[in-house]
Each structure stands twice: as structure tokens, then as C-alpha cells.
Amino acid sequence: MPRKLPEEIYGNAVNLKGLYSKWPVKLFLQTFDDQEPSYKRYASINELLIIDAEKDLGLQEQEGVITFTSKYESEVRLWTEGVKSSMKILRQWCGPETRKK
């Protein structure tokens, strides 16, 4: 019996350019039976952040993009704040020549 997927989850992503969003993004379950049987994904409203629904929630990495998803907005908010803090520290360590002008 296939597992029941939640209709919506929260998520965010980060790559070397930075965070996808400063806040958790609500992702909605989408099913495309016409493309491939049981192909499901979570996508933001503008579909710029897309997560494979067949993978477990939590931390994932694919092609240099790290994503974190959860049923709970508060968990994604904490992860996002941790990423922001880490990036701030890395900018300080890198010195002024790497800061945006």
C-alpha cells in the first residue's frame, strides 16, 4: 500500500549563491498521471522550488542544491535561521574582498 503524502509541506533550499527564500516556503503536492504513473512532486506556487515527493522529508542534496522539507513550518524556520547564521559567519571569514558591493 503506497504511503499517504501530505497535501502541503514546508521547505527551503540553499546553494552557493544563497538561500532560495528568507522564510519557509509552502509547497503543494502535485500529481501528473498523464506524464508518468504516480509521478508526484511538491512545488511552490511559482514552481521555482520543486521537491521530489517520493523522497523522504528532511535534508536532501541534488546537483549542488541542499533542500530541507518538513510537515512543520517551525522546523524549516529553524533550519533557515541556521543557514543564514552559517552564511553570515562564512562571509566574515572570507574577508572584505568577497563581500557584495
Instruction: Give 17-69 pLDDT, tens digit per residue.
Output: 889 999 999 999 887 766 554 557 788 877 788 888 878 889 999 889 999 99
Contact 25, 47 (CB under 8 A): no
Q: What is the number of structural domains in the chain?
A: 1
- Residue 1 domain-assigned? no
Distance CA 50, CA 101 (A): 31
Q: What is the pLDDT of residues 77-96, one digit of tens each?
A: 999 999 999 989 988 888 76
- Residue 3 domain-assigned? no
Which residues lie across from 25 on neighbouring strands?
11
Q: Report CA Rg, the chain.
A: 16
